[in-house]
Homo-oligomer: A and B are copies of this chain.
Amino acid sequence: MKLGSKVRKAVFLIQDGIGGRPRKELEGLTELEAAETPNLDRIAADGICGIMDPMAPGIRVGTDVGHLTLFGYNPLNVYDGRGPIEAAGVGFELEEGDLALRGNFATVDERMFILDRRAGRIREGTEKLASALDGMRLDGNVTVRVVPATEHRVVVVLRGGRFSSLITAVDPGAGNEGGKLPLSKPKKPDFKVASYTSDLVNKFTAESHRILKSHPLNEKRRNSNKPPANIVLSRGAGMEIRVKSIADKFNIEAVCIAGESTVLGIAKLAGFRTLTHPKFTANIDTDLQRKADFAIKALADSDMVILHVKGTDVLSHDNDIFGKIRFIEKVDEMMGYIVENLPEREACYIAMGGDHSTPGSLGTHSGDPVPIVLSGPDVLKDNIFTYGERSCAMGGLSRITANEFFLSILDYMNVTYRFGA
């Protein structure tokens, strides 16, 4: 039988930060190697395995860059800070020339010292606070859009001027509270457009404080002993991203199921439909059963379902060895359930990978490759029987990049084009 032009479907599991390094506590195994994963192992045994570098061997990437490469982009061409990705994540469409930043509602005192970078992780009323700032005019021509995101987060967009993303953050970063509010500066003193941009950002910050400090909602928070959300801190400046829709490029219907706004934002940029739910927490308490059900259902009317889980990365950052093992085992159960309940299982591909490695011993992302698998019809099965960093390194896919892995999945799905005649 010839496949011809028929498109085959695929489910692609992305375990964030899945790759690890050997642990003394596990007699030299990694968390993934030590976990009991009969279902992931069966997928590996049925498929072709390999290892994957997000960009290139030895290059560390963030979750944003890791997913850009996994979804078919070259981040060197498209990446300009996290702001535009967050804007896509909340569904705010940037116009040409817009500058986007990630923001937090935060708490400062009268001397402008930062008491809480997240205003007590405020959740309620943030739409009202954002709306009090949204549409602010600066310098006559520039409009500021302020769009609420999850919890204390907002997206801040400057529109109507000539901007540069080469500016520093109005945010001391996680764990650095207590000091004076930093001002935005151009990354080099003689960058004129960046100087103008950082001035605007500083004006916005001051205005946000002037407006929010007397907002009735903050009056209430003070009365109930909660830190007032009396300023917006911003970071991750980036100019609007113009990217080709990957879904359009390959003429596929793809769906991304995730809790994390960064992943959802990149999926939207790529032209994928996104599915999320308040119980998809981008953490270890996410509702894996519901994700599985969403995936099975989504596959009925789409070509590719991308299923992202974040817990593996969260637990790696915390160096929680046994927590990571337990979470991987839950993901294993989820995949077992998906495989069992997939319609047309025999005709569907299962791909597994991650956006980068996060060895718990390092406590942050590393440049190590990520184990990958592609199983399904016609795949050149190798003799690897377990899903792990070292078993997959011996597999038939050898060592490829995230872009190359994504394209290989699409190629088996039969949606790629021929280069040449």
Contact = CB atoms under 8 A, between A and B. Distances in A.
A63 B22 contact: no
Interface string A373-400: 0000011111000000110011011111
Interface string A381-421: 11000000110011011111101111111110010111111
A64 interface: yes
Interface string A60-104: 111111101000000100010110000000000000000000000
A55 B416 CA distance: 14
A153 interface: no
Contacts of A236: 421
A365 B418 contact: yes
A4 B398 contact: no
Contacts of A405: 57-58
**Main DSSP-derived SS at the A contact region:** loop
A51 interface: yes
Nearest to A404: B57
Q: How many copies does the complex hold?
A: 2
Given A3-B362, A319-B2, A380-B390, A60 B367 contact: no
A63 B2 contact: no
B2 A363 contact: yes
Given A378-B359, A380-B368, A398-B393, A420 B56 contact: no
Nearest to A317: B2
A368 B417 CA distance: 13
Contact of A65 (B57, B408, B420): B420
A60 B363 contact: no
Given A408-B57, A419-B59, A381 B3 contact: no
A14 to B, nearest CB: 15
A28 interface: yes
A397 B418 CA distance: 26
A393 B399 contact: no
Interface residues of A, number: 69
Contact of A361 (B2, B22, B68, B365): B2
Contacts of A21: 378-380
Contacts of A421: 62-64, 81-82, 236
A411 B367 CA distance: 6
Interface in A259-316: none
Contact of A398 (B51, B81, B406): B51
A64 B420 contact: yes
A72 to B, nearest CB: 10
Contact of A3 (B363, B365, B396, B420): B363
Contacts of A51: 398
A419 B382 contact: no
The residue in A22, A65, A408 that gathers the most chain B C-beta atoms within 10 A of its C-beta is A408
Given A64-B420, A380-B21, A56 B404 contact: yes
A398 B368 CA distance: 12
Nearest to A408: B58
22 contacts: A2-B319, A2-B362, A4-B363, A21-B379, A30-B380, A51-B398, A56-B404, A57-B400, A57-B407, A58-B405, A58-B407, A58-B408, A58-B416, A59-B419, A61-B420, A62-B420, A79-B420, A361-B378, A368-B411, A380-B393, A398-B399, A399-B399
